[in-house]
Each structure stands twice: as structure tokens, then as C-alpha cells.
């Protein structure tokens, strides 16, 4: 729990929602809105272990996309999958329509990881200095552990969005 300026306790999810629901959240694409909803809808445990969030085409006409959540541990991927109906409900409550939620394991974050986003993989476009600064500004008021997860997820989402824009041109 964090405290707001008035001294009242507030959940980290509320902080993320307030931060990204305002001016910094305008102009976000569907994948970024889904990532924002994922972080806002869930608790500290889910956020701490999430290493990426993106949308994948369902492969069926007229069916909403699938939300893919990358986590850092096999045991957690299985545990979260057993509660996917709960996550679907939470996302729907926040206005995000997905047909399914899939959990997959990515690279675990080292405990000493820096808050700076990882470099883009060779297949993904790099973010501009302006985009990196926007992510940094969006995350600066968040608690340390949450800041790293949100920063990584936002950067991954922006890179995926840029890659999909490049593919469609």
C-alpha cells in the first residue's frame, strides 16, 4: 500500500489507473489499453510477476482478441490460468473486451533489475527518446517494484504496436 498526499492508503492499482487514465493514457492503442487495464485490475502480486502484456488475434472472424500475459514463473502461469474467468471479468469491467486470457512464461527479472526498460529485441523496433521519456514520466510516481513492471510492459506494448504499424504499411 502507498499513501496519497492526503495521508490515506491507496492501492498501487489505483495509482496506475489514475496515472494512465489521465492525459498520459490518451491516444493509447488497444494493446496499451489492455495492458493498462491488466495492471489496474489486479493486485500487487500479479503486477510484480508480469513481464509483458499484449493482444493476439484470436484467429476467428468476429471474435475478440486474446490477451497474452507474460509472467516470470511457471508455477504462477498455471495458478493464474485457473482463475482466468476472474481476470476476464475484471478486464470486462474496465471496458476491455478479450475472448481469452493466456499466461505464458517469459524471462524472469533479476532482483537487481534497473528501472530502465530493456533493449528491444532485434525483431522489434526500438523506441524513440520521446517514447522512452513518455514511459518514464508515466511511471515516475509509482513504487519501485511496480515502476519496473509497468515500464517494461508499456515499452513492450509500444514496440509491438510500432511493429504492427510497420507490418501493415
Give a yes or no: residue 140 inside a domain: yes
> What are the b/e assignments for 59-84, b being 16+ CB within 10 Å?
eeeeeebbbbbbbbeeebbeebeeee
Domain count along the chain: 1
Contact 35, 153 (CB under 8 A): yes
pLDDT digits (tens), the chain, 169 positions: 444 444 444 455 555 555 545 544 556 788 888 888 888 888 888 888 888 888 888 888 888 899 899 988 888 888 888 888 998 998 899 888 899 999 998 865 554 443 444 444 456 788 888 888 888 888 888 776 677 778 878 887 788 777 766 555 4
Contact 160, 56 (CB under 8 A): no
Residue 161: predicted pLDDT: 77
Give a yes or no: residue 4 inside a domain: no
The rounded distance, in Å, linking the Cα atoms of 159 and 153 is 10
Q: What domain range is 45 assigned to?
A: 10-167
Give a yes or no: residue 144 inside a domain: yes
Give a yes or no: residue 138 inside a domain: yes
Give a yes or no: residue 3 inside a domain: no
The x, y and z cell numbers of residue 44, run together, are 500487487
Could you say which DSSP state residue 90 is in?
Answer: H
Residue 11: predicted pLDDT: 53
The x, y and z cell numbers of residue 101, run together, are 486470457
Contact 70, 56 (CB under 8 A): no
Residue 100: predicted pLDDT: 92
Give a yes or no: residue 2 inside a domain: no
The dihedrals phi and psi of 50, each to the nearest 5 degrees, come to -80, 125
The rounded distance, in Å, linking the Cα atoms of 86 and 125 is 33
The rounded distance, in Å, linking the Cα atoms of 8 and 142 is 16
119: burial class by Cβ within 10 Å (0-12, 13-18, 19+)? exposed
SS3 102: strand
Give a yes or no: residue 63 inside a domain: yes
Residue 106: predicted pLDDT: 81
Could you give the angle at the alpha carbon of 91 between the alpha carbons of 38 and 11, nearest 5°? 50
Amino acid at each position: 500500500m502507498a499513501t496519497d498526499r492526503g495521508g490515506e492508503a491507496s492501492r498501487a492499482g489505483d495509482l496506475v489507473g489514475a496515472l494512465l487514465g489521465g492525459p498520459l493514457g490518451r491516444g493509447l492503442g488497444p494493446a496499451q489499453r489492455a495492458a493498462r487495464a491488466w495492471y489496474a485490475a489486479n493486485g500487487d502480486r500479479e503486477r510484480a510477476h508480469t513481464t509483458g502484456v499484449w493482444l493476439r488475434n484470436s484467429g476467428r472472424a468476429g471474435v475478440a482478441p486474446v490477451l497474452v500475459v507474460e509472467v516470470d514463473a511457471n508455477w504462477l502461469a498455471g495458478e493464474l490460468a485457473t482463475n482466468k474467468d476472474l481476470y476476464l471479468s475484471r478486464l470486462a469491467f474496465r471496458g476491455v473486451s478479450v475472448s481469452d486470457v493466456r499466461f505464458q512464461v517469459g524471462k524472469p527479472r533479476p532482483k537487481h533489475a534497473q528501472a530502465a526498460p530493456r533493449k528491444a529485441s532485434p525483431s522489434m523496433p526500438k523506441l524513440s527518446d520521446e517514447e522512452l521519456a513518455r514511459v518514464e514520466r508515466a511511471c515516475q510516481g509509482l513504487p519501485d517494484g511496480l515502476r519496473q513492471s509497468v515500464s517494461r510492459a508499456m515499452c513492450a506494448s509500444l514496440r509491438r504496436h510500432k511493429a504492427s504499424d510497420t507490418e501493415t504499411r
